[in-house]
Every structure is written in C-alpha cells, then in structure tokens.
Amino acid sequence: MHLKLLAKRLSIALLFLAGSFIANAQQKTVTGKVTNDKDGSPVSGASVVAKGSKSGTQTGADGSFSLSVASAVTQLEFSSVGYTSQTVSIGSGNVVNVGLVATSGGLTEVVVIGYGTARKKDLTGAVASVQAKDFNQGVITSPDQLLQNKIPGLEVTSNSGQPGAATTVKIRGNNSIRSGGSPLYVIDGVPLDGRSARPNFGTNFGSSPDANALLFINPNDIQAVDVLKDASSAAIYGSRGANGVIAITTKTGSAGPSKIEFGTSWSVNAGYLKKYEVLDAGEFRTALTKYSISGQDKGATVDVFKDLLNKKLSQSYNLALSGGNDNGKFRASFLASSTNGTFKNSQLDKYIGTFNGQYKFLDKKLTIGFSLIAGHTSEDVIAVSNTAGSEGNIISSALQWNPTTSFKDANGKWVYPTNGSGNPMALLDAYDDKVQINSVLANISASYKILKNLDYKFQYAINNSVGSRLTNIYGFLQGYAGLSGSGYGAISGQKLNSQTFTHTLNYNATLTKKLSLTALGGFEYWKSKFSNNSFSARGFNTNLTQETKIDIPYTAILQDGQVQSLPTTYIDPTVEIQSFFGRVGLNYGDRFLVTATMRADGSSKFGKNNKYGYFPSAAARWVISNENFMKSNRILSNLALRASWGITGSQEYPSGAATEQFTFSQYNSATQTNVNNPDLKWEETRSTNIGLDATSKNGRIYGSFDYYHKNTTNLIFQDVPIAPAPSGTYFRNINANLINSGVELGIGATIIEKSNLQWDVNFNLAFNKNKLTNFKASRILTGQINGQGVSGTLGQIIDNNYPVNEYFLKPFGGFDASGNQIIGASQQYAGDPNPSTNYGFSTTVRYKKLSVVINAGGAAGFKIYNNTATSVTNISGISNGRNIDKNAYNSAEKPSSGVGASDRFLEKGNFFKLRNVSVNYTVGNVLRYVKGLNVFVNASNLFVITKFSGFDPEVNVDKSSGGYPSRSIEYIPYPTARTFSFGFKFTL
Amino acid sequence: MKKYLKVAISFVLISATGCSKLDQQLPGSLTNQQVSNALGSAGVGLLLNGAYADLGGTFTAQDLLFCLEENASDEALVPTRGGDWDDNGVWRVLHNHTWDANHTYVLNVFNSLNKLNFDATNVLGFSPSASQAAQARFLRALSLYYLLDLYGQYPVRQPGEDLRNAPEVKSGAAAAQFIIDELVASIPNLPTTGGAGVATKNAGNTLLMKCYLNRGAWVNRASPTFADADMQQVITIGNSIIASGNYSYMSEYFRNFDALNSSSTENIFTVVNNSGSAANVSDVRSEWCRTLHYNQETSTKPNSGWNGFSTVSDFYNSFTTGSTPGVDLMEGVTNYASNKTGRYKDTAVDARVGGRFYPGITDKSGQRPGFMIGQQYSETGAPLTDRKTPANPLQFEPGIAADMKETGNTLELTGIRVEKYGPDFTNGSANYQGNAGNDEVIFRYADVVLMVAEAKLRAATPDAAGALALVNGLRTARNAKPLASLVLVNTANLYAGNALLTERGRELYWEKVRRTDLIRFGMFNKIWQYKPSDDPKYLVYPIPTQSLSVNPNLVQNPGY
C-alpha cells in the first residue's frame, strides 16, 4: 500500500476513535490522589478505572486524578507497574485517596515468555526483564543500546561509534563457531529476520560496518525488553532459540482519557571518549630530529581529530498520542531525529511512525489488535570500513596525517601528500555515500475467547525493508589507484521481506483446589526473502578538479562513467520455517511450578534427510518461601529455586546451503556453486540452568543467581569442499562440542527510602567460560589482520580445547640493536578475545524533585588486538612523513623496523565505562495543561578506564574470514564521541 | 463434554492449517534439473564457458600459478619493502625455497586448479556434444597437468559423484598416462578453428607435447630420464603444428602480450579479454601492476603500480650480448616523438629485453615494455621520482637485500622490473586499472618450437643441428645474434649462453614455465641469487594441509 494512502486511512481512523471518548450523561466526579504506601510520594501515571464501566483515567505527576463516572459506579480499580493493584470503594464526598504497595523486586511484573506472558514470580526459566524506566539514557539510536550492562549474561558491544552501526549481542557467551551468533529478536510476538536491508558496497576503502537491524524501532516506544536466556525459556523458539531470545514489547494505549506525550532533546559532541595516541605537531618535530628525517616539517600545527569532530547539534523530537477505554485502546507515535556522528559529514536521520490498537467486539470475546511501525532512516556514511587494505580509510588518513601539514594550500586547494596517508579533509569532501532504508513492520491479530478459559489467537505479520545506497567518490581526490582522476559511483539496493502466520490456543484450568494448569498449543509459518543488486561505474567527466566540483553526484549520471562494471544481482534462496509448538505449566499451591515445552521446527534450510528438528524443555520452580517452615522467617519474603533443562537450535547458515546450486557467474557461463548435503541440519544446544531468586522481607533487597552449562553439538561447520569441488564452502554438521558455562548474579537494593530521598542501586555480574572440545577437523584460522605489508595474515584460530577465536600470533621478541622489531617464526596461541567477566552498575538518587541516574559497566579477562598499531601507525611511516604511534615512538624501535603482526599488539582489554549520567528535574504541572514536565541533562560516554591504547576497548571490528567471525580486533574503527544532551518531556 | 470437544476441535484446526512442504526454493540460482532441462543444450555450453572462465584468475593473478612457477624460480621475487610486501613472509619463502604445507598460495593454487578440474568434469555429466566433451576433457587435462607438475598427484572425480566422498587420487606414471590418454582421445573432436580463445586441436597438441616432454621429470624429479618414444612424439606433434602454417613469429615480440595481442600469430591458447569489457574473466592489469612503481603511470595518478615483483640481475644478464640497452635506445626517451624509429637502431640487442620506445604505451605513460632498469620517465620524458621526501629519482636498481628485506632509503627502487604485458592504453587510461584487453597467454608458438628443439636434443639419436636451426630461427626473429652451438644445459652455469634452458628463459620469461623447465633440466635445486640453500623436497610442492585433512586418499609428499 502506498504510504500516503495508508496515512490517510489512519488519520480517518484516529478521528473516529477520538469521537468515541465523548462521555455520557448521569455522571458524578470522583477525585483523589494515589501515593506510595511507604513514603507517601505521588504515583504518577497510575491507571484509575471505574469498576464495571468503560471510563478511566491516569494520575498526573502529583498523583492526583479526577474521573467522571456513572452515578451507579461504586468501586475504582487502581493499578500501576511495580505496585500491587487495588480495588477501593468510593466513599462519601466522592474522594478516594489510595496508598499503593510496591511489589517486591518487581515480582508481579508481567514478563514475555514466548507466545504468552507470565508473572515474574511464576517463572521457571531464566528470563531477565528491563522496564523502560531502567533503560540507558542519552543518545540512543537503536534498542540494543538501551540494554548495555543492564542484564547479567547479556553482552552488547558497540562495533563502531558510527550512529546506527551494528552491535555484537551475545547471550551467555559465544554459542557458535559460525557467524550469526546473534539472538533472535521478537517484537510484539513477531520474530525478525535479523538482517538489515542496508546494502554494503565495497570500495577502495573496504566494506563499511553493518547497520543495526533494529534501527526502525523507536527506543521511546519500548515498554520493556525481556531476555530469554536459558533453554526452558527459549526452546519454544526451537531452531532459532539457541542464541537466546530478546523479546521487545512496545507501548500500547491504556484506558483513560487521551493523552499526548512529548519529548525532545538536543545533543552535541564534546570530544572523544578516548583518543588514539599519535604524535602532536611538537612531538612530531622532535621525532623528526630523533630519527634524523629531513624535509617533513611542513611548518604548520594541526590537530586532525579536533578538526574532524562534528559539532553540529543533534536533535530528537518524539510525540505520542494514546487513549482508550474498556473496549479498546490505541497509541500512535512519531519520532523525528537527527543524530550526528563523531566525525563531520556523518549523520543518521530517522523518521518513525507507529500506530497500534486493541479493540474488543462480540461482548469482549473477540479482540482485534493491530500494530504498524513504519520507519525511514537516512544515513550519511563516511569512508570508515572494516577491511580497509593498504589504502586505509578516513581514520587511517587522520591517524597518519603529518601534524605539521595544513589540509589546504595557500590557494585553498587540498594538499595531497605523496606518502600514502591521504588527506582526511579531502576525503570528507570527495566521499559522498548515502543510505536510505524504509522499513515496515505490521501485524494484525484476532483473539477469540472460545470458552472462559480457552483463547484462540491468530496473528499475521509482515516485515518489509527496502534499502538503497548511493556511493560517490569524486575524481578530484588524489592518491588512490583507479579513483583519482577517474571517480567512482555505485548504486546498490537490498530488499528484505519476511512474513509470519501464527495460530495459538491458550487454555487455563483449575484442576483441583491447589493445582492449576496452563496450556499453549500453536502453529507458526515464517517465510523470508532477501535480495540485492548493484552496479557501478568509473571514469567520469565531472568533479575531476576541486574547483569545478558540482552538486550532481555520479550516481545521478552513472551512464557518464566511461568504464561500467557488470551489474550483479542475487536473490537468496527463500527461507521457510514451519513449526508446531506447545507448552504446559502446572502450579501446585504456588509452591511447586513445572513447565514443559516442545517445538517441532521444519525448515527449508535443512537437508532433505533432516527436515524437522525437535526441541523439548522442562523446568521447575520451588518457592521455598511459601513452605510452612519458611513462613515465619523474618529475613526473606521470597525465596525460590529454579532448575531447567532443554534443547534449542540454530540454523545460522546461508539458505540453500544444503542444496546443489548452479549460478550464472560471468557473462554466458554457469558453474556449480554448492555441494548437495541432504544431511545438513541445525546446530543443537543442550543447556541446564539452576537459579535462585530471593527478596528481603521489606522488599528493599532482591537478587538472583544463576548457574548454567551449555553444550552445543552438531556444530555447523563451513568445511572445505573436497577438491575437485565447487569453490567456496560446503556446510556440514560436525560432532565437536562447544561448551559455555558460567554464573550470573544480579542484585538490586533500595539503600535509602524516605519521602524526600531515595537511593536505589543495581549491580550485575556474569562470568562465562568458552571452550571448543572434541573438535577433530583441521583448525580454522580467522581474524583478518589488514593493512599494507600484512595482507593475508590471520590472527585468530578456532581449535580444539581453546576458546573460539583464541589469538594465534607470532611472538614478539623485542628490538634488535638497530631498532628493528624481532618477530618469532611461527604463530602461537596467545590469549582469549572473549571477555570472561561482564559487569554493570546503575544507581538512582532522588532528592525531592531532583534525581540523578548513573549507568556504568565494563568487561574484563580478555585481550584486544590492535591492528591499527600494527599497520597504520607503525613507526616506519615517519620516514615518509606519516604520523606514528606514541607507543612506538617511546620504544627502542627505529623507523627502519619492518611491519608484522605479532603478540606485541595484543593488549589487555579490561575496561570500566561510565556510559551515561543524567540529572532530571521534575517541574511538575505547568499552567493548565502541561503535566509532568521533566527537564534533564545527560552526559554519555563520559570516560573509560582502561589500559588499552586504541580508541575504545569496547570494540569488535568485523574481521571475519570465510564466514568465521572474529572477536575483539581493533582496526581503524569509527571513534566514540562524548556527548552532552539537554531535553525535556511532558504530557498533555 | 462439549467444552472439551471445543478444545479438541480447536487444536485439530490449528494443526491442519496449510502445511508447507518446505522444499528449498532457489529464486536466484538453478537446480541440476534446470540446467539440463530448462536450458537444454545451452546449459552445457554455459557450464563449459564456466570452466573456460576458471582459466582467467588461475593463469593471470600474481598470487596463483604465477607465483608458484615464477617466484619459486630464479626469474622472479618480491622483496619486502619496509612496511610493504611482507605478507607474513609468503613471498620470500617461495623464492628461497623454505615453504611449507601451510603456505596460503600453495593452497590457493591447488583449489583454483581443482575448481577448473571440477567445472570441466561437471560438463561431462550434462550430455555434451562431441566437441563440448572434448573441450571439457582438454580443460580438465590442463588442470591435471599443472596439478601433477606442481604437487605430484591429483584428485579426479567422475561426473555426478557425491561430493561429500573423497575422490580417487592418481600419482606418478599412472597420473601422467591418464592425462595423455584423455588428450589423445579428445583431440580428434576438438575444433580446428575458432581462434586462440578456444581449445583447438593445436592447443590440445601443445598440451600433449608438454606431457610427453615432462613425463620423465614427473616420474623422477631428482634425475629425470626421457624415453625416446616420448621425444619422438614431441617432435612429430610439434612438427605438425609448425607445418600447419597457422603460426608465425611476430615482428614485434611484445605484441604477443599487449592490448592488441588478439591479432598475434604466435598465440595458440589464451584467455580472451576485450578492452573496456566488464565481462572479462581475468583481471589482466595484475600483469603490470604487480611490478610497476606507484608513480609509474602518470604523476596525477599515484598508486598505479603495486611496486612488488622484480627479477634478479643474473637472470637479466643471461641476455648477454649488449643486453643493457645502449645509448641508441635511450635516444627516444628525451625526444621520442620525432624519433620513433630509434628503438631499432641498436641491432645488437635482443628484442626480448625491451626497454625501447613502444607506440601506444611509451607515448601514453613513458613506460617501455620489457626489463625496466635505471631511470624511469613520464610520457613527456620527465624523470619520475619515488614517494620519499625528499624524493629519490625513480631509478630501478639491480641489487636486492640479501635477505630480500629492503629497509633503506631506496627500498622502493630495488629490483629490475619486468613489464611483459604492456598496459592497455587503447582508451586513454580507462582500462589501465581494470577491464584491460590484453589476452592472457597460456600456450605460444615459440614454446612449441623450443620443445621440438629440446626433444631433438633429448632423442636417443640427438639432432643437434636441427635443434640449433630451430633456435636460431627464433633468435633471428627476436633481433638476437644466432648461436654457434647449442647444448641442453650447462650444469655448472645456469645462464650459459648456448644452453637451451637459457634460451627458454630468454624467450618465455614470466610465462609460468620456468620452475617446470628448471626441474626438467635438473637445475631447480641449484643455488641462485637470494636462494642460499635448497633441498630436493622442494622439487614438488606439499599437499596443502587443509586439502590433506579432508581427502585421506591424498598422500603428503616426502619431507613435508
């Protein structure tokens, strides 16, 4: 459907809905105030509904409400997230003041568990939940950033400081030796494909970092995120559950009068989180003297990174409109934001509209729900890449730039040094790369109450993303083979479409007085299509000199290119997954809870001999605190022991991998490109989890502890086809075991709780150990080390009895008498790139209307390979007038020293990062209409404590080789900015 | 009861919802049936073209066949230049014979040749015509020839085999006989015409000659012996090619390799490239980029070369008489526009040395195809410089650091460069960095003539006079003085002027035959520049570790 038409229809619907809120006659007005039972502080946003009627409202910032109800109404229902709901009779004078009791450790919170929800206190598996109020704050471009350091066992690593770049998300360690170890994302019950429609086109500067697949989700629309960590929770997602599941629940409207929420913020980059230490102009001059290099002092003093910093104002405007009554509710939101990257010319603009609603019909037996998310993102990308070769990229240009050289000469023309460094400012000027993605995620569902305790639900969802990319490198840029004097333009496009049909039946029954049963049965069909096309040209007539630059990009006149490249298109084999699943839960007197699930997954990706996989799980919870012997204890209000076991799967290999395929390669020729493997199946993870949840008697201290052990077998292995065979790969399952085991601890405490002052602290800690065993195939080298002089070097290894991606490097033996580095002859096992420890910390201090929130975290027990130092800022550059590493300068090394990868560049990655600090001031109600005005300032990426010498110890530049991922390699990445924001929000 | 019935019905309804068969849909690639049914006979043609396309990279790229045949010989090396061309030592170990079974390029060549082996075999499973089958069998024989020559064994499959099973491996005499039998059986069905881009009967015969000539070396690399019957075959087949009248020497040696070389009368089998065509299967610019300095196209387009591959001075000096270009040759450099005939003034110099003004290349770039030594110039005759500050004059120096690791101020300048393929300037500089039109030469007439001469010398009754006549015929065509006498090889002097091995070097340098020649002439383990020691195990490459681990039928070669 055309968006315009859709928008028109939606606006008609909105009008219609608004009309339904006009109140009826025969009314009385009830007023009152809702407070926290403990300290008397106001509870804002609490829902107030007249029992047995359609009318309702929400409390304002001061906790007060005013509700017009039919005169027959005698009771009001009060509810709010984090509090136990209460029903209160309307007394004389129509005034109702209520003190709500806070629930302990969020135990009554409802958690998404896959095709359903459960109360947190009924959970048998390991599910962690983060509510909107606890999210990270500051400049957030994608939902996964909300969760960094929030959940024990969830690692979210920013791969790049570029706004909108992909993150590496791992739940409980490295689950696969293959790429694609990301969790399954499920948005409002719709599983996503996980890929993005952003075309990635390689140029002279390499291929750029991937985009985040969740960019089209407005972080402000998220109500809660639930992370399903163990097999018991994730097994209901079967062959896609092995890497864990992240379930995102978006906000919906609530019963009560319509309201408008508005929020805005402005941000500005204030320097870098951390600088990569190269020489400044003064030190550079000293170095020239030290190494007796003449002719390289060009007289000026330049601070490249300062000049590259983007100081434009980033802006974000978010508007949400919601409302509803007993019979239905809706919410619509709109986000317009423009986020500036750390470097000039780097920008991400997002426009996201959402509309969702739930309406009841047929005496409330039928509920129709719908949700539409339409997002448009537009990126200005600069020449940053994962795989830059000898010509580097803009970061290497900046690092290597001779700090005594001005970027422009006296005539205003770019200066092009002949030492291969390139001019970063000219590169900004000559590089024009725009990516646009339109994404729609729409779903419609119908639930019908067949019986009082039997519900049927059908849901259809479609996720369609179309991306286009226009890459231009203008010919006036000097110093690059095939570009300079020629120019380069490329147009590429990508399409991603997935559809889901889900049918579920939910059944609840009280079997005996103490024993109750819940049952779920369902069928799901999921289909995904992915395609890509690109064409490029070189040899243009325009923009060949800086003076004659015009504003028409090459991609607008591609036919002018003298040399046209072959257009390429590919359409991935279609993925179809068909599943049957079920879950049965038994609850015996709230003391013993048992859950069992089963899923049968068939996938078109599997080989003919293994079309269906079966994924069972079982889990139990023993609520010790509900036993008689515990009832009298004065310490704990809740103590529960959990245990679970289950099997989950992963099918993260290319679609079509099991099938013989012939591909048109060059013009008029075809070759077989894949080996037929009818036995190919899923990767299987068996995991056990033992957990303990505890809450103190007063509810002020709560925590949980989990131990898990995961054993992944039938590893998907990208084998070497046995020659003679098609080139490329051959996928098969091998019998090795990939073991991940660890412990997780999460503790929350309210240290001070007074009416004017409250101090909450949250801490989480996770240890994971990763090891590959029984691996009998030949070891796999991965982890490309890039740059001039180190081509073809691979620095990581996948080998038996080692963690996945163990470093494999030649040993560094110091410097010889002439200052040349000594590198040993053969590569050795050199350390683990996977953090053994991840931790997070957050605290909130509220004094009256002022509150301060701090989020921090870090990782330890791993090493980072500094590929930048190996090949970009090594000492040999200074003899050609390139800037060099401060570490190299301070060592005994001389510029004659050769280049080479070795463990010299392996550094400890341990870090602690202060992610964000926010100061909020609740102004409250202003004038007649503005409610709950809240003003905040926020600082993101304030500082990092680390010994790592690169830009950011939280780094994972994709240096995969042959489909085997790499881990923790830094290579001229996009640096992270320190950002300050100011903003406010209010409700109307 | 009604309630439970409803529950049951609901569950049944759900499980009955339209099930998919989950058959894999391939919207962008073809199944086996589609290739044979939907494409019909064209399908076989496409597969055959796919096999031809495999020749492109294998025979062109600097890091495939070239590096195993040339860098491992005395003709080529890549000095590590400070921060450039270290690449974990892969280039140095090839030249000084210290490679092992984990060498990246030893693996890549094995896979690349086996891809040709596979794609050619696959054609045979799709009901090809007699001519198509013959061409496919020729292409497979070509890959097996190189596999046997490099690795001493090769895997071979029947069409349609389950690719998850390890294939049969042939080695030694049986391996040689299989290739010969395949060629003998398929040559009658090869096309007679079609140009050098097609596997003609002459291409088949040339490969057959190479098999007979090298059989003795394959069976015993340390001390080859040659059966008279094989030598007679080489002579007979070679004479038939010579007598066919299809081939003759070009008056301009480098025309066999430049962008107009599709008109060469010497080329027997090539990979065809067309100027400006994006559909070219070989990225032939590598032939010049690998050796040229960064600043060597024009001053406005730096990084036009990769400044790597060089040759050694001893090899360069094997051109003996007046091999250093004389004053006459330099004349054109400063004022060649009015002196384009200057290049032929010095009749004492072998045309194959090059270094002369070359129309269409020197006037576009200043480059003079052939060996590049000393000062290099731009197209306007201005002396070029390197990238240092202050810049050094771009003067290529014969001397290379003993350990092939350059560290000094002149690290960009060391090594004599070899531009055998003149860059494609047929459309300005548009095809310089890609889509160049030079056909990549696989078999050439001069090689046929030299093989006949060699067989005459190796025959039970040697025909030295006949061999000398053939060699001198070639030398005359190359503007080189005739030799007074001819021997096969001088074991005490790798570069003896009257040795046939030396003549093969002078004619066929950088054409991916040198290692094979050195082994056949028993000279591969000799000491030469920048290779201080050697071991007989290097006469054959190791089976790459990765290949060995997946195919238990392969046997690692002794010593690795």
HEC profile of A101-125:
CECHHHCCCEEECCCCEEEHHHCCC
pLDDT at A224 over 60: yes
Give the tens place of pLDDT for each residue, A318-339: 999 999 888 899 999 999 999 9
Contacts of B273 in chain A (CB under 8 A): none
Which residues, other chains included, contact A983 with Cβ-Cβ below 8 Å and sequence gap of 6+?
A: A263, A264, A265, A266, A316, A935, A936, A938
Contacts of A605 in chain B (CB under 8 A): 24
Residue A575 neighbours by CB distance under 10 Å: 22
The terminus-to-terminus CA distance of chain B in angstroms comes to: 78
- Report residue A387 CA to chain centroid gap: 22
A95-100 and A27-36 beta bridge pairing: parallel
Q: Of all helices (H) and strands (E), which one includes residue A712?
A: strand A701-713
Q: Where are the domains of chain B?
A: 7-20+27-76+86-256+541-550, 284-438
Task: Looking at the complex, report in whole angstroms how far the Cα of residue A450 sits from the nearest Cα belonging to chain B.
Answer: 8
Which residues, other chains included, contact A861 with Cβ-Cβ below 8 Å and sequence gap of 6+?
A: A832, A835, A836, A837, A910
pLDDT at site B333? 46
HSE-CB of A976 using CA atoms within 13 angstroms: 25
Q: Which of A183-197, A254-268, A901-915, B324-338 has the lowest mean pLDDT?
A: B324-338
Q: Of all helices (H) and strands (E), which one includes residue B370?
A: strand B370-372
Residue-wise DSSP of A861-919: S-EEEEHHHHHTS-GGGGGGT---BHHHHTSS--TTPPP---GGGEEE--EEEEEEEEE
Task: Please name the residue that has the structure tokens 């005539």.
Answer: A411
pLDDT at A171 over 50: yes
Q: Which of A353-362, A590-599, A830-839, B77-86 has the lowest mean pLDDT?
A: B77-86
- Report residue A746 CA to chain centroid gap: 21
Q: Does domain B7-20+27-76+86-256+541-550 have CATH number 1.25.40.390?
A: yes
- DSSP secondary structure letter of residue A25: S
Partners of A866 in the beta sheet? A970
Instruction: Using CB atoms within 10 Å of the CB of residue B265, give its burial: 0 to 12 exposed, 13 to 18 middle, 19+ buried.
Output: middle
Contacts of A525 in chain B (CB under 8 A): 17-18, 20
Partners of A600 in the beta sheet? A580, A614
Task: Please name the residue that has the structure tokens 């500067």.
Answer: A205
- Report residue B145 CA to chain centroid gap: 13
Q: Which of B24, B364, B411 to mutate to test the interface with A (most CBs of A within 10 A)?
A: B24
Number of inter-chain CB pairs under 8 A, A vs B: 286
Determine, for residues A880 and B34 on separate chains, whether the beta-carbon distance falls below 8 Å. no
Q: Which of A570, A580, A778 sits opposite B549 (nearest CB)?
A: A778
Contacts of A501 in chain B (CB under 8 A): 17
Contacts of A529 in chain B (CB under 8 A): 27
Q: Which of A523, A571, A789 sits opposite B86 (nearest CB)?
A: A789
Region A505-511: mean pLDDT is 91
Taking Cα atoms as reference points, which of B412, B430, B442, B363 lies closest to residue B196?
A: B442
Distances (CA, A) of A324 to A44, A47, A222, A259, A357: 18, 12, 19, 10, 9
Task: Looking at the complex, report in whole angstroms how far the Cα of residue A169 sits from the nearest Cα belonging to chain B.
Answer: 29
Task: Looking at the complex, report in whole angstroms how far the Cα of residue B443 sits from the nearest Cα belonging to chain A.
Answer: 23
Task: Please name the residue that has the structure tokens 């100081």.
Answer: A311
Q: Which of A658, A666, A790 sits opposite B281 (nearest CB)?
A: A666
pLDDT at site B146? 98
pLDDT at site A12? 37
Query: Cβ distance B551 to B147 under 8 Å?
Result: no
Query: Cβ distance A782 to A805 under 8 Å?
Result: yes
Give the tens place of pLDDT for each residue, A588-609: 998 999 999 999 999 999 999 9
d(CA B95, CA B81): 15
Give the tens place of pLDDT for each residue, A955-987: 888 888 877 889 999 999 999 999 999 999 999
Distances (CA, A) of B403 to A39, A814, B169, B283, B536: 80, 20, 38, 31, 21
Task: Looking at the complex, report in whole angstroms how far the Cα of residue A479 sits from the nearest Cα belonging to chain B.
Answer: 5
What φ, ψ does residue A555 adopt, rounded to 5°? -70, -10
pLDDT at site A32? 87
Collapse the DSSP code of B500 into the 3-class scheme (helix H, G, I; strand E, B; otherwise coil) and give the result.
helix
Determine, for residues A661 and B121 on separate chains, whether the beta-carbon distance falls below 8 Å. no
What φ, ψ does residue A494 adopt, rounded to 5°? -145, 145
Task: Looking at the complex, report in whole angstroms how far the Cα of residue A184 sits from the nearest Cα belonging to chain B.
Answer: 21
Residue-wise DSSP of A549-614: --S--GGGSGGG-SEEPPPEEEEPPPEEEEEEEEEEEEEETTTEEEEEEEEEEEETTS-GGG-EEE
Q: Between these two residues, A783 and A255, which has the higher pLDDT value?
A: A783
Q: Which of A476, A569, A671, A798 to mutate to test the interface with B (most CBs of B within 10 A)?
A: A671
Q: Which of B52, B80, B121 sits opposite A724 (nearest CB)?
A: B121
Distances (CA, A) of A569 to A494, A772, B28, B283: 10, 37, 8, 21
Query: What residue ranges of chain B have pLDDT lower than 70?
Result: 1-18, 298-303, 321-348
Q: Which of A360-364, A384-388, B97-101, B297-301 has the lowest mean pLDDT?
A: B297-301
d(CA B259, CA B105): 28
Determine, for residues A723 and B304 on separate chains, whether the beta-carbon distance falls below 8 Å. no
* Token reading at A641: 């022991």
Determine, for residues B83 and A874 on separate chains, whether the beta-carbon distance falls below 8 Å. yes
Determine, for residues B49 and A663 on separate chains, whether the beta-carbon distance falls below 8 Å. no
Write down the ipTM of this complex: 0.87
* Token reading at B126: 């799709």
pLDDT band at A16 (very low <50, low <70, confident <90, very high): very low
Contacts of A570 in chain B (CB under 8 A): 28
Q: Which of A175-184, A696-705, A810-819, B507-516 has the lowest mean pLDDT?
A: A175-184
- Cα angle for residues A739, A741, A745 (degrees, 5° grid): 160
Query: Cβ distance A124 to A112 under 8 Å?
Result: no
Determine, for residues A563 and B430 on separate chains, whether the beta-carbon distance falls below 8 Å. yes
Chain A's closest residue to B303, CA to CA, is: A481
d(CA B359, CA B349): 19
Task: Looking at the complex, report in whole angstroms how far the Cα of residue B40 sits from the nearest Cα belonging to chain A.
Answer: 13
A730-734 and A737-753 beta bridge pairing: unpaired
Contacts of A562 in chain B (CB under 8 A): 427, 430
Determine, for residues A671 and B51 on separate chains, whether the beta-carbon distance falls below 8 Å. yes
pLDDT at site A231? 87
Residue A906 neighbours by CB distance under 10 Å: 20
Q: Which of B11, B389, B429 sits opposite A880 (nearest CB)?
A: B389
The terminus-to-terminus CA distance of chain A in angstroms comes to: 33
pLDDT at site B455? 98
Taking Cα atoms as reference points, which of A911, A980, A881 lies closest to residue A419?
A: A881
Q: Which of A722, A790, A898 sits opposite B551 (nearest CB)?
A: A722
Instruction: Using CB atoms within 10 Å of the CB of residue B347, give its burial: 0 to 12 exposed, 13 to 18 middle, 19+ buried.
Output: exposed
pLDDT at A140 over 60: yes
Virtual torsion, Cα B264, B267, B273, B275, nearest 10 deg = -10
pLDDT at A169 over 50: yes
Partners of A102 in the beta sheet? A83
Query: Cβ distance A951 to A973 under 8 Å?
Result: yes
- DSSP secondary structure letter of residue A837: E
Q: Between these two residues, A790 and A764, which has the higher pLDDT value?
A: A764
pLDDT at A17 over 80: no
Contacts of B295 in chain A (CB under 8 A): 418
d(CA B432, CA A501): 54
* Token reading at B119: 């794609």
d(CA B232, CA B217): 16
Cα radius of gyration (chain B): 26
Contacts of A670 in chain B (CB under 8 A): 30, 35, 43, 46-47, 49-50
Query: Cβ distance B418 to B291 under 8 Å?
Result: yes
Chain A's closest residue to B84, CA to CA, is: A789
Task: Looking at the complex, report in whole angstroms how far the Cα of residue B277 sits from the nearest Cα belonging to chain A.
Answer: 8
Partners of B80 in the beta sheet? B405
Instruction: Using CB atoms within 10 Å of the CB of residue B465, give its burial: 0 to 12 exposed, 13 to 18 middle, 19+ buried.
Output: exposed
* Token reading at A606: 């599997």
Contacts of A454 in chain B (CB under 8 A): 3, 6-7, 10
pLDDT at site A106? 56
Q: Of all helices (H) and strands (E), which one includes residue B55?
A: helix B41-60
Q: Of all helices (H) and strands (E), which one includes residue B171?
A: strand B168-171
Cis geometry, peptide bond prior to residue B390 (ω within 30 degrees of 0): yes
Determine, for residues B50 and A670 on separate chains, whether the beta-carbon distance falls below 8 Å. yes
Q: Which of B86, B121, B146 to mutate to test the interface with A (most CBs of A within 10 A)?
A: B86
Determine, for residues A523 and B23 on separate chains, whether the beta-carbon distance falls below 8 Å. no
Taking Cα atoms as reference points, which of B9, B11, B18 lies closest to residue A506?
A: B11
Region A693-709: mean pLDDT is 92
Give the tens place of pLDDT for each residue, B31-79: 888 888 777 778 899 999 999 999 999 999 999 999 999 999 999 999 9
User: pTM of the full predicted structure?
Assistant: 0.85
